[in-house]
Amino acid sequence: MRILLLTLLLISISSTAAVYRWVDENGKVHYGDEAKPNAELVEVKANTQNTIAINDALVLSPTDSAAQNDPIELILRIVSPTHDETIRSNEGKFDVIVNVAPTLPRGILLTLFIDGEVKAQPQSSTTFSLTGIYRGEHIIVVKALDQNGKVLASSSPRKIFLHQANISRMVKPTPYYAIKNN
């Protein structure tokens, strides 16, 4: 038993190797565990050693994982414009305002569809500012999409009418001097 303890003690003493530093003929600095001519012993401090701390993994309880997989219940309602509203804008400008209940979760975006086509980039804002929409009857729908593009909720379709003035059909007034000369 004593021989085993003595052997372990000798192994532990020999495992703490010394570090030497020396400069060669070309001025290059070298480090090693063997003493060379003109080498000096370098003291290795404990704080120069690299250490890595590994945090414990987060373990979800069955109730936590079930809560993350529950479908999100969102209610989308178009507040403005109202159903069958007539909007008068020669530039085709108007805002669509949406009410979301409960609040929109992180990572969920709203997309505006007019007549079945996407008219605004997906966004987290509940106000869409539109321009360049042509006159006529339009159906507006807002959908909530997750990061994969899956539709989580949709508003009821909203019908609106966009009117634009038509200058080409206006009757040109007769100048005063043309009336006076007749």
Angstrom distance (rounded) from CA 153 to CA 141: 11
CATH superfamily entry for domain 69-167: Immunoglobulins (2.60.40.10)
Report pLDDT for 165: 79
Average pLDDT for 79-88: 91
What are the residue ranges spanned by the domains of the chain? 2-44, 69-167
Residue 67 confidence class, pLDDT cut points 50, 70, 90: very low
pLDDT of residue 65: 43
Question: What are 21-38's pLDDT values in tens digits?
Answer: 888 888 888 888 888 888
For residue 150 the two structure tokens come to 């899956």
pTM over 0.75? The answer is no
Q: Average the pLDDT over 168-175 and give the result.
A: 63
Quote the pLDDT of residue 114.
Answer: 92
Is 4's pLDDT higher than 50?
yes
Alpha helices in the chain (DSSP H): 2-15, 62-69, 176-180
Which two three-digit tokens encode residue 106?
A: 């992180």
Q: What is the pLDDT, as a whole number, of residue 79?
A: 92
